[in-house]
Structure 1
Amino acid sequence: MSRVTKNTSHRHGDGALITAQPGTPLDVLDRSIVMLTLADAGFLVLRGFDGGLGAFSRLVRRMSERITLDPARSLHGGVAQKVDAGLGAIGLHCENGNSPFMPHLCWFFCEKAASIGSETTVCDGYRVWDALSPAARRAFLDRDIVYSRHVEAAKWKSFVYHSLQGQKRIEDITLDDLLSLADARRGTVIRPSGGGAIYYEFQVPAARETLFSDRIAFANSILGPSCNYEKPTITFADREPIPPWLIDEVVRVTASVTVDIAWRDGDVALIDNTRVMHGRRAIVDPRRTIYNALSFIRRREAPAGEG
């Protein structure tokens, strides 16, 4: 008998829940099955598997082509980063979606679940796009959006150092190294700012095809946080502000299709970061301990999914 059971619905028809009998290691999970399920469901919750932070890190490495990070967070074991963005609620966003370095996959490991509340929120961009009014869809199809802000030297150099996998000492990293990493990202402008900081502008559609499908998903960081960073300016590509009526509709529609991940100790969540936005309810139990990891897969290896 299989020690792993896949439920096609996590909650309210969204996502997938994969459960295991006690003592089942994360190593039994087959990469192709996980990716096929993710392509269909948008996000997965792995529950009941045996293993801690080390097993989580090994799982991320085994399932991914390349690991990336958020340079403002502390690193654990070379892969996982502790989620430490205060106690307040966090708006829906794609991880690093306001930068040219948005990863394909966003992972979470719950070491200690909250005794009450404090859920992670998830919102499927397919469902948002289908629920938006024709006027809203047309507004986002007609024009890209642009994120712009400054980033301190220590943060962008830490990101480059990790991206280069230690090929250069952090003190030897220059702006040219960052520009090389961003060279293939359409709609990206990076220039030096004072004190070693950089200023960047990143142009991207608010709604676009996903990693696994050519179906349009509304997946972006318009409503997202700016923890540990300067708050970005967000406009349309022609520098016109996004009108209040449009933001109000996005807030209303996303709220109507957002679901919660009610964590249990040892849970792992995997999110298609190109399709599903995530956020957080306010933390009411500060003992909650969550780790995050970010990664890429080869696009040509991504299985086709109907979403």
Structure 2
Amino acid sequence: MNSKIESLGMSTGKVIYSCDDCENIHRLKVATTMDLFKSSGVLLFRGFGVTHEQMKTFAERFSSRFIQDYGRPQVDSDKFVHFVDAGMDNSSFHREHGYSPFCPDVIWFCCAVPAAQGGETTFCDGVRVWEELSEETKQLFISKKLKFCYEVQADILRRFTGLDGTITDIKQVLDSLEGVNYQIKENESISIEYICSAVVKTKYGHDDAFANSILTLDYGEATLEDDSIVPDEIIGEIEKVTDKLMEKIPWQAGDLVMIDNSRFMHGRKEFNDNRRQIFSTLSNLNF
């Protein structure tokens, strides 16, 4: 990789700059990019003039399968590229689909139009968060898992699983998943209870990372596995630590970002510019 590489803020993340304006991103060596991603966890490709179509074709080189995001508008024919901006408010740190057993390895973002002010994507290293939390808070999450309860339509689960099958096929998938309890209703809506640890092992390095969706859930509810509420003082501590470790991506048109979803939580700063246009796609990796 002959491109210029710099640190991304104070994090392990890296910025990879194009050698020439709008150099074709597909010229980057796959193996070198893989190695850099394993060690850094966040890669920002800048100066390559990436479009959402190029994001998808570039991601295909590193992905075993793509995962649909039913909560965002789809913009491509195969329904794996999405508009990100459903609102302009601040988005708290979360692991993408951390409330679900269908959690992608990586989330990809590309920027067509940045906001005039604000709207930065934020990220936070879950390994460092776990190291910074108090022993009392660590013991809580070691002793008790999280519980996410929500209702979803069967068609949405078909998108998650990649199946076009019957309810029986979906049932077989759900039965095979650890930590999942469910009830299928007559209208094919499915009530799901998903129990998982707030602390996960990173895909690369197998380190403990505080990477979950406890700070934000668009619908349903999140509790501890015994149905107790996470104390406000614990939530306050998590917010304080994640704010301290926050890094920002100040978007430029044509930027592409690749985030390790097993290690980093991400969010967004608020903005007030309806021209902002960010796209995303989710995938599991082939390395």
3-state SS of paired residue (1:185): coil
Deviation at 1:243, TM superposition (A): 1.5
Moved more, 262-271 or 234-243: 234-243
What is residue 157 of structure 2 aligned with on the other side? 156
Matching of residues 195-234 of structure 1 within 5 Å: 195-226=187-218, 231-234=219-222
What is residue 44 of structure 1 aligned with on the other side? 43
What is residue 180 of structure 1 aligned with on the other side? 172
Rounded to whole Å, the distance in 1 between the matches of 2:253 and 2:143 is 44
What is residue 146 of structure 2 aligned with on the other side? 145
Matched, 1:254 2:242: yes
Contact kept? 2:50, 2:255, Cα under 8 Å: no
Rounded to whole Å, the distance in 2 between the matches of 1:224 and 1:120 is 15
TM-score (norm 2): 0.93
**What RMSD over aligned residues (CA atoms) do the two structures have, in Å?**
1.7
What is residue 122 of structure 1 aligned with on the other side? 123
Offset from partner CA, 1:251-278 (integer Å, 9 cap, x none) = 1111110111110000001000011000
Deviation at 1:245, TM superposition (A): 1.6
Matched, 1:136 2:125: no
Deviation at 1:14, TM superposition (A): 3.9
Rounded to whole Å, the distance in 1 between the matches of 2:2 and 2:206 is 34
Contact kept? 2:68, 2:159, Cα under 8 Å: no
User: Where do 5+ consecutive residues of structure 1 fail to align?
Assistant: 302-307
Deviation at 1:154, TM superposition (A): 4.5
Letter in 2 for 1:99: S
Letter in 2 for 1:197: S
3-state SS of paired residue (2:150): strand
Letter in 2 for 1:262: P
Rounded to whole Å, the distance in 2 between the matches of 1:223 and 1:95 is 12
Deviation at 1:241, TM superposition (A): 1.8
The sequence identity of aligned pairs, in percent, is 31
What is residue 62 of structure 2 aligned with on the other side? 63
Contact kept? 1:113, 1:264, Cα under 8 Å: yes
Rounded to whole Å, the distance in 2 between the matches of 1:174 and 1:17 is 45
Rounded to whole Å, the distance in 2 between the matches of 1:152 and 1:13 is 39
Rounded to whole Å, the distance in 2 between the matches of 1:175 and 1:269 is 36
Moved more, 73-82 or 197-206: 73-82
Rounded to whole Å, the distance in 2 between the matches of 1:232 and 1:243 is 18
- CA shift in 2, pair 1:224/1:31, >3 Å: farther
Number of aligned pairs?
284
Rounded to whole Å, the distance in 1 between the matches of 2:50 and 2:92 is 30
3-state SS of paired residue (1:46): strand
Rounded to whole Å, the distance in 1 between the matches of 2:134 and 2:115 is 37
Matched, 1:189 2:164: no
What is residue 84 of structure 1 aligned with on the other side? 85
3-state SS of paired residue (1:54): helix
TM-score (norm 1): 0.87
Contact kept? 2:183, 2:191, Cα under 8 Å: yes
What is residue 96 of structure 1 aligned with on the other side? 97
3-state SS of paired residue (1:75): coil
Letter in 2 for 1:129: W
